[in-house]
């Protein structure tokens, strides 16, 4: 489905000329191909803040190919960046706090707020970013790093840490018009070594439709250092609902990272599912996930044919929309069973039979509707909210085996389902995000793929919204 305001230059010019109060979205820069060793190659990244992560950030950014511009009162702030800069041929530049050289533009801002102690310290985000925020290039990135508020022993410290999330969410909605996104990352003490893959993802084009989101990096799940490229080489991934849409896009992206993808869908979707599997060099598994014997069949097939599975993506789902007073019992039962009940039954069986290998990844599809609710979707919203609760409870249970469990909550994504919406509703839904447009199946697939990688070991029990900074929900 084509977005007229995004793709049609004449329409864009007309809206701007007439001065109509309609957001004209910026075409987002999206990643092409598999993970790169240097995803930030030659990007100018402003590093600011008075936290204690400068050495860590220096290693992450220079290795990823970025050119760091470090903000501080003296050039002593460059010291942690000199060694890594020499190692990765990236010379750091010093910028005095409050200065922004005329004509200079940047691609990203990384603010280290791990040292905030009180609400007064929140002034740092203003002082460091104010001179630069309007210098961000199109499809720019802002990442604000802090410590979890829940870990603070003093209420004032917790308040300052929590303030970073509110700041970032609001900033994202101010800067989204040029395709720029902003997210926050809260790093548990002792989990700093797990920050790298998260920061690389959020600063790269792979996070094009993720904005206003808090990411929490923890020590909960066991895991080792992960590769930067070919991140799923030798892994087996199961994707349900793989015949089309988000499932198809996810299967393609997982395969591009080296995974052998088992494409699961209903027997009725044999033809499209087989085409996807053939195109990516994967395998086909035709099962109706609501069948009583589905969990056992899936577990047995994965065990016998592939020796187990490393990544499980629960993407299959349905909508059966009606207001509660008009909804038939079978519509309620179908939505809840497919979207939630089957997910739990299959996951339980894969864990009980030890088909999901140690270090595995579970990614479940929730929805913004499950977070914010939506008229006529009580069944769907209940099931998708249930997914959020499921991964939160599951994560600590499987952490000792290095397994993570997370959910993805898509917002308005351009699929065959949204193309069937009335035009007016579809246009409003597209514009109700910070970036002023709908997402693509590949945007959701990129988030799923990231959570499926070994490098995402620090993120578990989370629900990540892929919604472009939707103006509804949390």
Catalytic residue from among 69, 111, 380, 412: 380
Rg (CA), the chain: 22
Per-residue CA distances from 337 to 159, 244, 316, 330 (Å): 40, 21, 11, 10
Comparing C-alpha atoms, which of 433, 34, 408, 459 is closest to residue 247?
A: 408
Dist. CA 214–CA 418, nearest whole Å: 27
Cβ atoms of 4 and 412 closer than 8 Å? no
CA 64 from centroid of its chain's CA atoms: 19
Give 465's contacts (C-beta < 8 A, 6+ positions apart): 210, 212, 213, 368, 371, 409, 410, 411, 473, 474
Dist. CA 186–CA 164, nearest whole Å: 9
Is 35 an active-site residue? no
Dist. CA 461–CA 166, nearest whole Å: 21
Cβ atoms of 199 and 43 closer than 8 Å? no
Element (H, E) at 145: strand 136-146
Q: What is the tally of helices (H) and strands (E) in the chain?
A: 16, 14
Cβ atoms of 263 and 285 closer than 8 Å? yes
Per-residue CA distances from 399 to 219, 225, 239, 294 (Å): 9, 16, 22, 26
Place of tokens 């299967």: 251
Give 260's contacts (C-beta < 8 A, 6+ positions apart): 235, 236, 237, 281, 282, 283, 306
Q: Find the distance separating the first CA and the last CA of the chain, reported in whole Å.
A: 27
For β-strands 356-365 and 309-314, DSSP reports them as parallel
Cβ atoms of 264 and 239 closer than 8 Å? yes
Cβ atoms of 404 and 361 closer than 8 Å? yes
Cβ atoms of 47 and 53 closer than 8 Å? no
Angle between helices 378-398 and 342-352 (to 10 degrees): 20
List the catalytic residues: 380
């Amino acid at each position: 489905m084509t977005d007229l305001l995004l793709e049609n230059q004449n329409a864009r010019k007309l809206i701007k000329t007439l001065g109509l109060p309609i957001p004209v979205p910026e075409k987002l820069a999206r990643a092409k191909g598999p993970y790169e060793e240097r995803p930030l190659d030659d990007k100018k990244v402003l590093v600011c803040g008075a936290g204690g992560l400068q050495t860590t950030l220096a290693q992450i950014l220079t290795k990823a190919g970025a050119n760091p511009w470090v903000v501080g009162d003296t050039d002593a702030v460059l010291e942690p960046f000199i060694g890594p800069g020499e190692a990765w041929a990236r010379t750091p530049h010093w910028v005095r706090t409050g200065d922004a050289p005329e004509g200079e533009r940047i691609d990203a801002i990384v603010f280290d707020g791990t040292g905030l102690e009180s609400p007064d310290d929140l002034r740092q985000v203003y002082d460091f970013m104010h001179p630069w925020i309007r210098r961000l290039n199109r499809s720019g990135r802002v990442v604000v790093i802090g410590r979890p508020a829940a870990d603070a022993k003093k209420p004032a410290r917790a308040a300052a840490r929590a303030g970073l999330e509110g700041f970032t969410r609001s900033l994202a909605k101010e800067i989204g018009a040029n395709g720029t996104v902003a997210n926050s990352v809260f790093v548990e003490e002792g989990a700093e070594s797990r920050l790298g893959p998260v920061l690389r993802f959020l600063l790269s084009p792979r996070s094009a439709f993720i904005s206003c989101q808090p990411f929490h990096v923890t020590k909960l799940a066991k895991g080792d250092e992960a590769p930067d490229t070919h991140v799923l080489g030798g892994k087996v991934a199961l994707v349900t609902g793989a015949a089309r849409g988000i499932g198809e896009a996810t299967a393609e992206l997982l395969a591009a990272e080296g995974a052998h993808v088992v494409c699961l869908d209903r027997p009725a979707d044999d033809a499209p599912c087989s085409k996807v599997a053939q195109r990516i060099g994967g395998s086909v598994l035709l099962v109706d996930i609501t069948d009583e014997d589905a969990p056992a069949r899936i577990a047995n097939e994965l065990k016998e044919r592939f020796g187990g599975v490393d990544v499980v993506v629960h993407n299959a789902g349905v909508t059966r929309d009606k207001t509660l007073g008009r909804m038939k019992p079978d519509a309620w039962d179908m939505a809840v069973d497919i979207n939630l009940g089957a997910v739990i039954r299959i996951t339980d069986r894969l864990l009980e039979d030890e088909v999901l290998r140690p270090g595995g990844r579970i990614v479940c599809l929730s929805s913004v509707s499950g977070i914010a609710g939506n008229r006529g979707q009580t069944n769907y919203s209940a099931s998708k909210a249930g997914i959020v609760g499921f991964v939160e409870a599951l994560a600590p249970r499987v952490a000792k085996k290095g397994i993570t469990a997370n959910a993805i909550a898509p917002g308005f994504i351009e699929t065959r389902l949204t193309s069937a919406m009335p035009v007016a509703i579809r246009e409003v839904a597209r514009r109700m995000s910070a970036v002023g447009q709908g997402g693509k199946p590949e945007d959701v697939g990129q988030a799923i793929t990231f959570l499926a990688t070994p490098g995402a070991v620090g993120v578990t029990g989370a629900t990540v919204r892929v919604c472009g900074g939707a103006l509804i929900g949390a």
